[in-house]
Amino acid sequence: MFTTLAPLALPVRVSFDRQLSLARENGFQALDLPIHHLLTQLRSESVGRIQERFAAAGVRPGGWQLPFDHQAGTDAMFTRALRLLARASWLAGQLGSPWCYHWIEPASDEFTFAQNAARHVARVRPVADILGEHGCRLGLEPIGPSTLRIGPRYEFVHSIPMALELLSAVDRPNVGLLLDCFHWYTSRGSLAELRELDASQVVYVHVNDAPAGIDVDEQLDQVRVLPGASGVIDLPRFLGALDAIGYEGPVAAEPFDAALAGIPPDERVRLAGESVRSAFTVAGVGR
């Protein structure tokens, strides 16, 4: 597995060239693709030139977020979005970035569990087929906190076993999981769940930590800290389990920390880089 700077996750709102520099300066092995920006750049520069910019920075392409929410909008809107996906997956394939990812909303006011599952199957399959044409995969992220399931009428997929059942119904070989240690923790996931996975089922990984002094069932999705900052989540064993099954893909820090968001981007990336490298060292993983 390797470290990637994910600007959307920190967040870091700076230019693409600055993102490359920050990734290099802070020891990240990869940079996630700002896919919308790069598609715009194709109007004025070639794929080869984009590849050269990665190479000059000594940073490889990381993953990329699905450029639309497959769960939202009308069927007509979804169909139009697939045209964008065709361009994005072509570009990602050219750049050597097969790791596409998105999340699964854990509850709905509109759809029952069965209806939501059927909707996901119907929409994820064409997404997967387009990605597959360009050698790309899709990692879907089960969202764990029980606090997100309070209020909406219908619960939906929110744990690894539930996500695997959904993926079985989707029945596409290039669709797997985005695993986030916070969601694994808040869904009361086990190390056994991780150890029973095959590396081919894991597309992308987020690492972070949970605030101390808060019960697991009271944790809030948008309140997290840097990997290893609190020690609430057993991150060494989480990473160790993924290493043991042979996972070799991207690992990105995804804290949602108001204090961290309030400091300059350069410092934020430095702290994120240090935290991920430290987590790798403690777990004895990575390259």
**Domains held by the chain: number:** 1
Q: Is the dihedral of CA 164, 110, 122, 75 positive or negative?
A: negative
Is 253 within 8 Å of 9 (Cβ atoms)? Answer: yes
Residue by residue, pLDDT tens for the chain (287 residues) are 999 999 999 999 999 999 999 999 999 999 999 999 999 999 899 999 999 999 999 999 999 999 999 999 999 999 999 999 999 999 999 999 999 999 999 999 999 999 999 999 999 999 999 999 999 999 999 999 999 999 999 999 999 999 999 999 999 999 999 999 999 999 999 999 999 999 999 999 999 999 999 999 999 999 999 999 999 999 999 999 999 999 999 999 999 998 898 999 999 999 999 999 999 999 999 86
Nearest alpha carbon to residue 194 among 147, 156, 149, 142:
142
User: CATH number, domain at 213?
Assistant: 3.20.20.150
Nearest alpha carbon to residue 128 among 81, 175, 162, 166:
175
Q: What domain range includes position 176? A: 2-283
CA distance 232 to 224: 11
> How many other CB atoms sit within 10 Å of the CB of residue 234?
15
pLDDT of residue 286: 80
Stated pTM of the model: 0.96
Q: Which residues of 198-233 are buried (b: 16+ CB within 10 A; e: fewer)?
A: eeebbbbbbbbbbeeeeeeeebeeebbbbbbbbebb
How many residues are there in the chain?
287
pLDDT of residue 287: 61
Relative to beta strand 154-155, strand 107-108 is antiparallel
* Dihedral angle computed from the Cα positions of residues 70, 126, 63 and 7, in that order, rounded to the nearest 10 degrees: -20
